Amino acid sequence: MAQEVAIKRVQELIGDRLSLAQSVRDQHGHDEFHHHQASPDAVAFALSTEEVVAIVNICRETGTPLIPYGTGTSVEGHIQAIHGGISLDVSGMDRVLAVNPEDFDCTVQPGVRRKQLNEYIRDTGLFFPVDPGADASLGGMTATRASGTNAVRYGTMKDSVLSVQVVLPDGRVITTASRAKKSAAGLDLTRLFVGSEGILGVITEITLRLYGIPEAISAAVVSFPSVDEAVSSVVTAIQSGIPIARVELLDEVLMAAVNAYSGFDYPAEPTLFMEFNGTIKSVEEQIEMMQAIVAEHGGGDFNWASDEQERNRLWQARHDSAYAAKALREGCELWGTDVCVPLSRLTECMRQTRQDLESCSLPAPMLGHVGDGNFHLIFVLDMSNEAEIKEAEGYNERMIERALAMDGTCTGEHGIGLGKKDFLVDELGETVDVMRQLKLTLDPTNFMNPGKMLDIAPVRSVAAE
């Protein structure tokens, strides 16, 4: 079989860095949320762009599906090997290649993780802001157009990537842009690969924008009598132009879970986690304005994180909140929804969603990057129970319908993967055909992460195998 030929050829190339071990294959066949396990036939651990090129060529020539893999922390089934094939693990390509503090940029290999980068550049006075919950790889974050708690102030991966080096499905290696801060040099291929979910090529280098660590950083936690009031206060703050750096909503269910998981004793009430960045004076001013708004909306006192250590503990708890949710029910999986709507519709969208949830039988904590209009429900469910899956599916579907009717999107930051292909069509219609055309232009035999983001049938050379 062609696939066996591919595995043999890759083995000749990288020796025992090609693994056939069941445990390794299984580890590469699932992500952090509910999508079913689909293990690859082999896992190739690449250490250089040259190796990636060679493996891409082998897979194309043999019609073997190739699935790029960073840390496996995505959540929409991006890395499942649903058509078999080889998982290309780039976690060993983990070097920071260059840091240019004067230019506020750096270039990294795709296996570098976000925390590793921030530790590496700490002495420069700079930081990299994009922070999904997991300590994800920057290659994976680029490929899924990730964001996180800092997006309201610093944007998402779309705004943070200056350039990428990509191995295309035909084996060419291209770099999409220079290091200039702005450019009008041709089609914006950088942004085409940011969020391409592994279907257009393998990202092998990323040049990222960095930001100065602010002179002053203050973080606080504040409780509200209702989700409505918490959300309204954020909407007012954003509309008043307060340049808040982070503002995260956790509902009463999630707060209870976070208290239990991370050892806090905050009230189990709708809560905002906030952070203010700037000069000392400007942070004081932002806090003053925010306190007035919070008071108007019935919010409680600001509970300050007293120092950097306490602040880090606070944000780690926020980042761990999905794991806190998981701890609510033993042996269960998470199913995260991920809609984003224009800010003016957020309060209404969340209210309707909570009304819908009243009859829900599953734990479903709610979590929001409310400054961006983006929020999640995290269902904690037994994946062997069809009724529970059906129930979560129903809520997810209604939530997306609601968001689309409000001119929002079916995914603010998780991506399409396996889980949202039909919703992508609901959202963008014929535009998805154009995505399909572009995909098939660069990958005519559809061997690069087939079956993700776009339905393309038949999977030609895989079918021919």
Report 99-158 residues binding a copy of itself (CB under 8 A): 100, 102-105, 144-147, 151, 156, 158
Q: Identify which of residues 301 and 407 has a Cβ nearer to a copy of itself in the complex.
A: 407
Q: Does 372 bind a copy of itself (CB under 8 A)?
A: yes
Query: Where in 222-281 is the site for a copy of itself (CB under 8 A)?
Result: 235, 239-241, 278-279, 281
CA distance readout (Å), 313 to 219, 319, 320: 11, 10, 10
Under the criterion CB under 8 A, does residue 434 sit at the interface with a copy of itself?
yes
Binding of residue 323 to a copy of itself (CB under 8 A): no
Q: How far is the CB of 282 from a copy of itself (least distance, A)?
A: 5
Interface residue with a copy of itself, options 71, 137, 160, 176 (CB under 8 A): 176
Residue 352 binds to a copy of itself (criterion: CB under 8 A): no
SS (H, E, C) the chain: CHHHHHHHHHHHHHHHHEECCHHHHHHCCCCCCCCCCCCCCEEEECCCHHHHHHHHHHHHHHCCCEEEECCCCCCCCCCCCECECEEEECCCCCCEEEEEHHHCEEEECCCCEHHHHHHHCHHHCEECCCCCCCCCEHHHHHHCCCCCCCHHHHCCHHHHEEEEEEECCCCCEEECCCCCCCCCCCCCHHHHHCCCCCCCCEEEEEEEECEECCCEEEEEEEECCCHHHHHHHHHHHHHCCCCCCEEEEECHHHHHHHHHHHCCCCCCCCEEEEEEEECHHHHHHHHHHHHHHHHHCCCCCCEECCCHHHHHHHHHHHHCHHHHHHCCCCCCEEEECCEECCHHHHHHHHHHHHHHHCCCCCCCCEEEEHHHCEEEEEEEECCCCHHHHHHHHHHHHHHHHHHHHCCCECCCCCCCCCCCHHHHHHHHCCHHHHHHHHHHHHCCCCCECCCCCCCCCCCHHHHHC
Among 58, 350, 432, 459, binds a copy of itself (CB under 8 A): 432
In the bound state with a copy of itself, the residue whose beta carbon lies nearer, of 202 and 403, is 403
**Given candidates 16, 429, 457, 458, which one binds a copy of itself under the rule CB under 8 A?**
429
> What does the block give as tokens for 322?
């999905």
Beta carbon nearer to a copy of itself, 64 or 409: 409
Q: Which of 185, 292, 387, 464 binds a copy of itself (CB under 8 A)?
A: 185
- 439 touching a copy of itself, by CB under 8 A: yes
Applying CB under 8 A, which of residues 15, 23, 187, 386 lies at the interface with a copy of itself? 187
For residue 336, state whether it binds a copy of itself (rule: CB under 8 A): no
Nearer to a copy of itself, 334 or 432 (CB): 432
Smallest gap from residue 218 Cβ to a copy of itself (A): 16
Q: Which is nearer to a copy of itself, 184 or 457 (CB)?
A: 184
- Of 89 and 413, which has the nearer Cβ to a copy of itself? 413
Q: Give min distance, CB of 443 to a copy of itself, in A.
A: 11
Output the CA torsion 255→257→261→264 (10° steps): 30
Considering only 1, 20, 21, 174, the residue that binds a copy of itself (CB under 8 A) is 174
Q: Which of 125, 15, 31 is nearest to 74 (CA)?
A: 31
Q: Cβ of residue 405: shortest distance to a copy of itself, in angstroms?
A: 11
Nearer to a copy of itself, 393 or 433 (CB): 433
Distance CA 82, CA 393 (A): 20
Widest distance between CA atoms in the chain:
69
Pick between residue 183 and residue 312 the one whose CB is nearest to a copy of itself.
Answer: 183
C-beta closer to a copy of itself: residue 163 or 223: 163
Residues 65-104 interacting with a copy of itself (rule: CB under 8 A): 100, 102-104
Q: Which stretch binds a copy of itself (CB under 8 A): 82-90, 252-260, 301-309, 405-413?
A: 405-413
- Out of 118, 175, 226, 303, name the contact with a copy of itself by CB under 8 A: 175
Nearest approach, Cβ of 454 to a copy of itself (angstroms)?
Answer: 8
Q: Is 383 in the site for a copy of itself (CB under 8 A)?
A: no
Number of residues that bind a copy of itself (CB under 8 A): 90
Which positions ≥6 away from 320 have C-beta within 8 Å? 133, 258, 261, 262
Q: CB of 170: closest distance to a copy of itself in angstroms?
A: 10
Between 372 and 388, whose beta carbon lies closer to a copy of itself?
A: 372
